[in-house]
């Protein structure tokens, strides 16, 4: 195994600067999936479970949400919440260090509520309760994306090394072009954050500056009609 004294951030920055790095690129229709931007994970001053990498993360996510929404593309927000018994947390919630963090997030509790700084359009956006790391696991995310004829997934939220990475790997496995805006994902510590940005960029996704994603969306013209249930 090749050894290196470079930090995870240095390895990530070197890969980002590599002119030979290939991209998956954007496809015909994107969707935005915002992973677990709920108080338990976005309020460091209130909850020990929270994390923050870029203090403008939610601001950037909101801008993407408004752009996607204005072009008739799906905007999806996930959150984690469990039954009072915690049994729907499964084996994941049985480890001593995970049990308190996960099983304490109950449906309706402040920890489970999306951060009120998030620009959620309750009339049009999709809000989805997930229970495991990937937003695809035992949810209807896949069928929703198929219904909307999506081929590109823009993934934000946290944590970079946990639920974001799990969703990104599942996204690529389902043949979605997958985009991670760098400033829109976060983790508790720098090392896992940059190590996983590196790994996703190398294998599973295009990790891009949020400004580049905004530029694409500014010039994006919808290619299919947005499907809405008529009233």
Per-domain residue ranges of the chain: 8-15+23-218
What does pLDDT average to over the chain? 92
Task: For residues 99 and 103, give the distance between their C-alpha atoms in angstroms, rounded to a whole number.
Answer: 5
170-198 pLDDT per residue, tens = 999 999 999 999 999 999 999 999 999 99
pTM equals 0.93
130-168 pLDDT per residue, tens = 999 999 999 999 999 999 999 999 999 999 999 999 999
When pLDDT is cut at 50, 70 and 90, the band that residue 210 belongs to is very high
In the prediction, which pLDDT does 63 show?
A: 98
- Other beta carbons within 10 angstroms of residue 110's beta carbon come to 13
Based on the residue annotation, tell me whether 89 is a catalytic residue of this protein: no
173 contacts 167 by C-beta, under 8 angstroms = no
Is the pLDDT score of 3 beyond 80?
A: no
In the prediction, which pLDDT does 205 show?
A: 98
In the prediction, which pLDDT does 4 show?
A: 66
In the prediction, which pLDDT does 192 show?
A: 96
Lowest mean pLDDT, pick from 44-53, 55-64, 96-105:
96-105
The owner of tokens 């991670």 is: 180
Nearest to 158 by CA among 119, 120, 115, 123: 115
Q: What is the CATH number of domain 8-15+23-218?
A: 3.40.50.850
157 contacts 184 by C-beta, under 8 angstroms = yes
Provide the greatest CA pair distance for the chain.
61
| Pairing mode, strands 152-158 and 30-35 | parallel
In the prediction, which pLDDT does 101 show?
A: 74
69-107 pLDDT per residue, tens = 999 999 999 999 999 888 898 888 887 566 567 778 998
Tell me the torsion sign for CA atoms 8, 14, 20, 23.
Answer: positive
Tokens, residue 43: 């309020």
Out of 73, 89, 163, 184, the active site residue is 163
Nearest to 91 by CA among 141, 132, 56: 132
In the prediction, which pLDDT does 212 show?
A: 98
In the prediction, which pLDDT does 140 show?
A: 98
When pLDDT is cut at 50, 70 and 90, the band that residue 222 belongs to is confident
In the prediction, which pLDDT does 86 show?
A: 84
Region class of 150: left (phi > 0), else alpha (psi between -120 and 50), else beta: beta
Task: For residues 123 and 193, give the distance between their C-alpha atoms in angstroms, rounded to a whole number.
Answer: 33
Is the pLDDT score of 116 beyond 90?
A: yes
């Amino acid at each position: 195994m090749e050894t290196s004294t470079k930090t995870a951030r240095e390895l990530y920055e070197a890969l980002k600067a590599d002119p030979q790095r290939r991209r998956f690129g954007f496809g015909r229709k994107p969707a935005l999936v915002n992973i677990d931007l709920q108080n338990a994970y976005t309020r460091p001053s209130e909850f020990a479970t929270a994390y923050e990498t870029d203090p403008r993360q939610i601001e950037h996510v909101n801008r993407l949400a408004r752009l996607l929404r204005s072009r008739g593309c799906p905007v999806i927000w996930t959150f984690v919440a469990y039954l009072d018994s915690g049994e729907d947390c499964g084996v994941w919630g049985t480890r001593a260090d995970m049990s308190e963090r996960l099983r304490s997030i109950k449906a309706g509790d402040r920890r489970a509520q999306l951060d009120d700084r998030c620009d959620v359009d309750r009339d049009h956006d999709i809000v989805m309760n997930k229970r495991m790391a990937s937003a695809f696991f035992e949810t209807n995310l896949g069928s929703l994306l198929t219904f909307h004829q999506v081929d590109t997934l823009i993934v934000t939220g946290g944590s970079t090394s946990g639920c974001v990475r799990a969703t990104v790997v599942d996204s690529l496995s389902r043949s979605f072009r997958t985009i991670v805006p760098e400033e829109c994902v976060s983790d508790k510590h720098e090392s896992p954050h940059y190590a996983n940005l590196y790994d996703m960029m190398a294998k599973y996704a295009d990790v891009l500056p949020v400004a580049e994603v905004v530029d694409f969306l500014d010039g994006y013209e919808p290619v299919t009609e947005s499907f809405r249930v008529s009233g």
